[in-house]
Amino acid sequence: MNIITAFSIECEIDRNKANEKGFKVVQKSENTEFGKMDYIELKRNEKSCMVFENCGMNNRRSLDKCSIPLFVILEKEKVRNLFLLGFAGSTNKKYSAGSFLIASDFIDLTKSRPRSFLELRHPGKIFFYRMAEPYSTYLSAKLKDHAKKISVGVFDNIKYAITEGPRFESAAEIGMIKNAGCDAVCLSGIPEVYFCRELGINFCVGLFVSNMAEGIDQISNAEILDHAKNDGIKITEIICNMASDDSMNTDMSYYGDKYWMQKP
């Protein structure tokens, strides 16, 4: 297949928008030893990328088990770059609904998700790695450039918290998260950030603000879903623009052995 870049998104690809951009949407499915995984291949001429519509507000539950077959496919196809694009609640009034936030660091508040992909590959082996610079600065810069092209307010160097879900957070929890220095909160990004580090995949996270978090400001349920629907179209546009960028079809190795202390 020789696909370098993949996207994991919290919405469905807008097929009309992709067609307008000249991309063919090819639905695919693959059985792995850890379960079946459906995904899309976006193709235009010699350019293509993989898109996993595997989580978020698209009428599909964010099942932890989806992450493992997803990464089995990424590992098998030797995908080098993964973007997670989705939605977040803002804990900072500076970042209102519709703002696009690019993560630079995270706090993991999840409770029962997988912690390691390599433990599946090497059961019983001891290994350690560092989590400095969890997101590729190069991919983050590329994402920032392409997001600006569709005229959205883009903010980078964002720290965010990942919670377990499926519920949203309480006002007290949001107060704790804000005091910890996080400007946003969402349910996505774990275990992807760990799996990418272990497999040497360059990783980047971009999140549209769909609502102000509990205790920060009030917004109706309908407004939250409307923001997610409208920004989902923008996510498709960002993906198509990035898939058309020749520099995204090169191997931009970033992690390598830089943060490994002991390999399995």
pLDDT at 252: 57
30 HSE (CA, 13 A, CB side): 18
Domain count, the chain: 1
- Contact of 89 with 44, CB cutoff 8 Å: no
Average pLDDT, whole number, for the chain?
A: 89
pLDDT of residue 173: 97
Spatial contact of 176 and 91, defined as CB atoms under 8 Å apart: no
Does 138 score more than 70 pLDDT?
yes
Quick: pLDDT tens for 98-125: 999 999 999 999 998 889 999 999 999 9
Per-residue pLDDT averaged across 243-252, rounded?
70
Inter-residue contact 255 to 135 (CB < 8 Å): no
pLDDT at 112: 87
Residues 218-236 have pLDDT tens digits of 888 888 888 888 888 999 9
The H or E element that residue 262 is part of is strand 260-262
Q: List beta partners, residue 26.
A: 41
Mean pLDDT of the region 179-202 = 94
The reported pLDDT for the residue numbered 60 is: 47
Q: Is the pLDDT of residue 140 over 70?
A: yes
Query: At residue 55, does pLDDT exceed 70?
Result: no
Q: Range of 37's domain?
A: 5-262
CATH number of the domain within which 183 lies: 3.40.50.1580
CB-neighbour burial class of residue 116 (10 A; exposed 0-12, middle 13-18, buried 19+): middle
CA gap 104, 123 in Å, rounded: 31
Here the tokens at position 66 are 């989806």
Mean of the pLDDT values across residues 155-165?
95
Q: What is the Cα–Cα distance from 229 to 216, expressed in whole angstroms?
A: 22
Q: Which residues contact 11 (CB under 8 A, 6 or more apart)?
A: 53, 56, 57, 58, 86, 87, 228, 229, 231, 232, 235
Judge contact between 149 and 139, C-beta under 8 A: no
Buried-exposed string 56-82: b where 16+ CB fall within 10 A, e elsewhere: bbbeeebeeebbbbbbbbbbeeebbbb
| Residue carrying the six token digits 């995908």 | 79
CA 38 and chain centroid, separation: 17
